[in-house]
Amino acid sequence: MFERLNAAIAELRTALEGIDQSRLTGVFAIELANLCCQADRTLTATRLLATRRVDETKAWQKTGHRSAADWMAATTGTNVGHAVGLVETARRLED
């Protein structure tokens, strides 16, 4: 189902591995940072929509977690307090 997305992530990793950060001019560093911000906004919005669906369907229960926030903390490597905020934001998306 997500073949194109997996391929895009692999391509992105390959493209980023080829960048020597220490050799970037300031202008190119700005351009790279801007591109990363664009990608980050796209991925964050998509992650929130997917998180809302994980919460709605209670799919997190199937992974052995105690809550959607517990699942999100484990998935993102953050603490549960931060993950609670992410899940609450995802829930508010409909509003």
Rounded Cα distance between 2 and 5, Å, is 5
Q: Give me the pLDDT at residue 94, please.
A: 72
* Residue 37, pLDDT above cutoff 70: yes
Q: How confident is the model at residue 93 (pLDDT cuts 50, 70, 90)?
A: confident
Domain that holds residue 13: 3-92
Provide the number of structural domains found in the chain: 1
Q: How confident is the model at residue 95 (pLDDT cuts 50, 70, 90)?
A: low
Q: How far are the Cα atoms of 5, 15, 18, 19 from residue 10, in angstroms, in the given order?
A: 9, 9, 13, 15
- Quick one: tokens of 90? 């995802």
pTM for this predicted structure: 0.80
